[in-house]
Structure 1
Amino acid sequence: MSSADSLYTKIGGREAVEAVVSDFYDRVFEDPNLKPYFEGTDKDALYAHQVQFISAVTGGPVSYDGDDMQQAHEGMGITEEDFDRVATYLAEALEANGVAEDNAEAILGQVASLKPEVVEQ
């Protein structure tokens, strides 16, 4: 797939990714069940990593240089229910920001594939 055909380009590039990530974190940070996961977290760094991550999984002109998913979430005790809650907020943010359903499904599929690395059994 050429960069012109990438999912990143189809959804609107960096501006769209930043809008989705901002909306996504507004939803996540307002959820009382998820707040404990983010206590003491540098939210600006988290935002930047998420923009980088979404850009990378959609074929954008960036590479993700954060920890791998297992290292980044190790010891946080993330439950399957909370992973699914976060995925729902991402789906809502994608929809609210005009990302076409098939493109949103592709992004959510990438995120779902990371569930075993993020959820602690």
Structure 2
Amino acid sequence: MKKSLTSIVLLLIITHIIGAQTLPSVPKTLFERLGGTSGITAIVDDVFEAHMINPARSARFKPYRDQPERLPKIRQHTIDFFSAGSGGPANYKGRDMSDTHQGMNISAADYMHAVDDIMEVLEKHSIDDASKKDVLAILWSLKEAIMSK
């Protein structure tokens, strides 16, 4: 009986080791690569700050400093939008990008300044190059919905 139990335990250990070595690894989502909710929250906070101090962007963000009660809602919408769009569990309940940016007359230069700020923040957070490229692809896909509305 003791030999049988030892054999079963040994067989289970070998099976586990072999199985662990042959299972394909599941790639992480962009959400996970950006640090999940806490990572994305930190990135969004830093992007807002970067926009506020960037002379090319600050005029659009100055109202949030003058009306700080508006910032938490916009911040949360941005976190949820970015989280949901990167494969996270968030449920974005804000407006679509065209409606959100309606009347802002965002030029190509404005958009590129925003993208530059975001990419610099990703660099600051030591986000890997593949993830930065994925974020850039998302930003590029939103360009038409955001610009000149």
Structure 2 length normalisation: TM-score? 0.73
Counterpart for residue 90 of structure 1: 118
Q: Secondary structure at the match of 2:48?
A: helix
Which whole-Å CA distance do the structure 1 matches of 2:83 and 2:27 have between them?
14
Q: CA separation in 2, counterparts of 1:88 and 1:32?
A: 13
Q: Which runs of 5 or more structure 1 residues have no equivalent in the other structure?
A: none
Report sequence identity in percent: 26
Higher relative contact order (CA 8 A, sep 6+): 1
1:25 corresponds, among 48, 53, 72, to 48
**Superposed CA offset, 1:3-43 (max 9, x none):** 97311112211111011111111110112332332344422
| Separation in 2, partners of 1:38, 1:30 | 9
* Letter of the 1:73 counterpart: H
Corresponding residue pairs, total:
119
**Correspondence list, 1:66-85, <5 A:** 66-85=94-113
Residue 127 of structure 2 is matched in structure 1 by 99
Q: Is the 8 A contact 1:57 1:107 kept in 2?
A: no
Aligned 1:1-121 pairs, distance under 5 A: 5-41=28-64, 42-120=70-148
- Is the CA contact (8 Å cut-off) linking 1:78 and 1:118 kept in structure 2? yes
Specify the SS of the correspondent of 1:113: helix
Distance 2:49 2:139 in 1: 18
Q: Any stretches of 5+ residues in structure 2 without a counterpart?
A: 1-25, 65-69
